[in-house]
Structure 1
């Protein structure tokens, strides 16, 4: 059947999904596409990319407009549809963060990143790929393996390409989990470093002093938690 996508049934045989829905009037077709897209995003444990959504709707479907319509319908709900980590994901609104934590028996707030962890993570985000030696040179003191281990354990950074330096040390890069944690769709959503410098809002001196640009806050259970805390490297 034209306009259908193949999928597997319980017996492993190919099944067909009618994606074009040409038998439906335009309004009902649009509502069906909206339902499919919202259902797939709702069921996913990670942000769902455009390519995945495109497999369940017709070629003429404008996914971005579908997302806008879903967002409009969720305007009064305690959760929303956000673009993050290269896809879309349902997230509870930050106003309900405390309620969710208390209901889950988590107390007040989880421990945010320390100031030193946040500063190193920020440096990796802006200057990746960057190795530990380069980080240590930047901060004027050694960045410990333990600190790097904390960021790796939280899946905020991963090993990047080896540096073209003696010993070929591994460099570090941020991960999709980093984008998800901080509510970024792509790294282009980071505050423009040069613009911050030109505006006098950020410099190496301010960075070392602990001034973190607005927007680098950690999201937990729908709430935003400032990453600064105060701890030596």
Structure 2
């Protein structure tokens, strides 16, 4: 989110009764989350409510308020966003032009993305070791252009190649709060989705 201060915004709303003030703060947070295409950090949400207000409690109340609605508040990485409940995905696909929102990744692209997620930070050489072939700069570029991966620390060796890591956009695209939500590699092996 932008860091623009709005001097016209009355954050304290001292003239409102406490219950109405709380409801207005919840509405402000919902409006910010609705307008954002990326997770919104706690610090950014705190800028629209009064001094010392517990943003986590507002979000918890907003989440409770949204029960039964087609979307809910989810934590992604270091922030929150509104996400449509999976049960409504077919209706959205049938009626909405999602255009650039679809990942449209090939199976191999997804495999490379999964390797980056599980082994990050990892260099192109590390990916070559996993796949037995060179990973093209075009593929890395496509994943980076979609903001699914970014550059990590450089490897501590001659030439100091870049490494790759996943981003908050990756977490949001796959419905994860953090990388701890990745499936356990042993479970993938047991399910026949990965090699030992």
**Scaled by the length of structure 2, what TM-score is found?**
0.80
Which residue of 2 is the match for residue 182 of structure 1?
A: 174
Q: How many Å apart are 1:16 and its aligned residue?
A: 4.7
My pick for the range that moved more, 172-181 or 55-64, is 55-64
SS at match of 2:40: coil
The question of 1:211 aligning with 2:194 is answered yes
Report 1:25-36 matches (<5 A).
Answer: 25-36=17-28
Gaps of 5+ in 1: 1-5, 9-14, 213-233
**8 A Cα contact 2:38 2:169, kept in partner:** no
Cα distance between partner residues in 2 of 1:97 and 1:90:
14
1:134 aligns with 2:126: yes
Partner of 1:145: 137
1:87-107 CA distance string (max 9 Å, x none): 11122221121221221357x
Contact 1:119 1:210 (8 Å CA) reproduced: no
Instruction: Render the CA deviation track for 1:40-84: whole Å, top value 9, x for unaligned.
Output: 212223221100111121234221221122122221211222212
Residue matched to 1:64: 56
1:90-149 deviation digits (Å, cap 9, x = unpaired): 22221121221221357xxx6753332222212211222211111111333333334323
Q: 2:40 aligns with which of 48, 65, 73?
A: 48
Given that 2:128 and 2:135 are in contact with CA atoms closer than 8 Å, whether structure 1 keeps it comes out as yes
TM-score, normalising length from structure 1? 0.69
Q: State the distance in 1 between where 2:180 and 2:120 align.
A: 13
Question: Using the alignment, how far apart are the partners of 2:134 and 2:193 within structure 1?
Answer: 17
Q: Cα RMSD between the aligned structures? A: 2.9
Map 1:184-203 to 2 at 5 A. 184-191=176-183, 196=184, 200-202=186-188
Structure holding more strand per residue: 1
Residues 71 and 81 of structure 1 are in contact (CA less than 8 Å); yes or no, is this contact kept in structure 2? yes
Give the structure with the higher percent helix. 2
Of structures 1 and 2, the larger Rg is shown by: 1
After TM superposition, give the deviation of residue 181 of structure 1 in Å.
Answer: 0.6
Question: 2: CA distance between counterparts of 1:146 and 1:187?
Answer: 25
The Cα offsets for residues 161-189 of structure 1, whole Å up to 9 and x where unpaired, read as: 32222322221111221111112233343
Q: Which among 113, 127, 152 is matched to residue 121 of structure 1?
A: 113
Structure 1 Cα separation of the partners of residues 106 and 128 of structure 2? 17
Query: Deviating runs (4+, > 4 A) in structure 1?
Result: none
Match for residue 66 of structure 2 among 59, 63, 74: 74
CA distance in 1, matches of 2:69, 2:128: 46
